[in-house]
Amino acid sequence: TKVIAEYFDRPAAALTREQALALATTLPAPSVRDPRKPGRRQRAAMAHVTRELDRAPWVFTCLPEGIRP
């Protein structure tokens, strides 16, 4: 939670869908990616994750209602 607060100044449960995607796609390379300012490749990864999750909406059952699609 501290790491998330450092990036977005809010708890994980309060993240928007875009913020959650940006944070998730930061994990493969956290030393070079910034979830506050995703670059072109990170935005492409975010779009890919969105498409995959749209195919499997059951994945979101573990997420709070506010960030489910």
6: Cβ contacts below 8 Å, ≥ 6 apart: none
Q: Give the pLDDT confidence score for residue 43 in this predicted structure.
A: 96
Burial 1-33 (b: 16+ CB within 10 A, else e): eeebeeebeeebeebebebbbbbebbeeeeeeb
pLDDT of residue 12: 82
Q: Report pLDDT for 67.
A: 67
Report which residue type is found at 10.
R
How big is the chain by its Cα radius of gyration, in Å?
A: 12
pLDDT in tens, 27-40: 888 888 999 999 99
pLDDT values of the chain reduced to their tens digit, one per residue, 69 residues: 556 667 888 888 888 889 999 999 998 888 889 999 999 999 999 999 999 888 887 777 777 777 666
